[in-house]
Amino acid sequence: MGSLFSPVLFLMAMFPAILAIDIGIPGLQCQCPKPCEVDLHYYLHQFRARTDPKSNEDFIVSGTNAAGFGTTIVHDWSLTTGPNATDTIVGHAQGFHMQAAQTSTIWYTTHNIIFQDRFAGSTLQVMGIIDGAELSANGGEWSIIGGTGKFVKASGIVTVKAIKTEIVEWVRELNIKVSYAPENSSSGYGYNGYDGCN
C-alpha cells in the first residue's frame, strides 16, 4: 500500500511546478538564449575526377555493377562568392560522395564546409544525397548536422541547385540557412571570444 502512495505523493508535489511553467512565472522558464540564424549564398565548384588536370576530387573505390554501386570519391570542392571558378574563394567542401543505389544514380555525400572568409576557423558539417533533384526548379536539399567555431551547435538546410553541368565541371548554387548557438561567455555559450550573433 505504501508503494501506491509514493507515485501519487510525487505527482502531487510536482503539480505546482508543472502549473508554474505552464502559466509562465518568471524565473521558472528557460533562460536559454534564442538561436542565431544566418542565410548564406555561395557557389560550389566540382571539377570531376579523371576529366580535367585541375580536378578537385579523386576515386577511392570504383563500383563494379552497371550503376557503379559502391563507387566512392573523395572531394575538396571550392566554395565561391559567384558562379565562376575564378570568383573569390570563401571555403571548401571537403569530404566524400558514394554511389549508394544499386539500380539508379543516387550519391550519398557528406562533407565539412571549411570557411576561410569572415567565418574563418568555423565549419559546417553537411550530409545529403545527389539524386537529380538539384536539376529541378526547386533544387535538392542537404542537412546541416553540426558545426564548429562560429557555428557551434549548428543545424539547418542547404538548398542545392545545379546551374552548370558539363563533363568537366559542375557548379551548384547553395542557399544555406543555418541556426547556431549564440556565443556569449557570460551565458556559458562562449567560444573563442565571439559574443552574440555577429
Instruction: Compute the average pLDDT of residues 138-157.
Output: 96
**187 pLDDT higher than 50:** no
Instruction: Compute the average pLDDT of residues 99-122.
Output: 95
pLDDT tier at 193, thresholds 50, 70, 90:
very low
How confident is the model over 43-84, as pLDDT tens digits?
Answer: 999 999 877 788 999 999 999 888 899 999 999 999 999 999
* Higher-scoring residue by pLDDT: 4, 181: 181
Q: Residue 74 has which C-alpha cell?
A: 573523395
**194 pLDDT higher than 70:** no
Q: Residue 153 has which C-alpha cell?
A: 551547435
Q: Is 54 exposed, middle or buried (0-12, 13-18, 19+ CB in 10 A)?
A: exposed
Cβ pair 161, 80 in contact under 8 A:
no
What is the predicted pLDDT for the residue at 183? 73
Cβ pair 146, 175 in contact under 8 A:
no
d(CA 60, CA 72): 5
What is the predicted pLDDT for the residue at 184? 61
How confident is the model over 7-49, as pLDDT tens digits?
Answer: 666 766 766 666 555 555 565 556 667 889 999 999 999 999 8
Q: Residue 176 has which C-alpha cell?
A: 544555406
CA angle, 164 then 167 then 173, to 5°: 20
Which 8-state DSSP code applies to residue 83? S
Q: Are strands 89-99 and 36-47 parallel, antiparallel or unpaired?
A: unpaired
What is the predicted pLDDT for the residue at 50? 79
**136 pLDDT higher than 80:** yes
In the chain, residues under CATH classification 2.40.480.10 are 36-187
Classified by CATH at the fold level, domain 36-187 comes out as: AOC barrel-like (2.40.480)
Grid cell 508554474 — which residue?
20
How confident is the model over 161-175, as pLDDT tens digits?
Answer: 999 999 999 999 999
CB-based contacts of 123: which residues, under 8 Å, 6+ apart? 112, 113, 114, 115, 147, 148, 149, 151
pTM for this structure?
A: 0.78
pLDDT tier at 124, thresholds 50, 70, 90:
very high
Q: Which residues pair with 7 in a beta bridge?
A: none
Cβ pair 152, 144 in contact under 8 A:
no
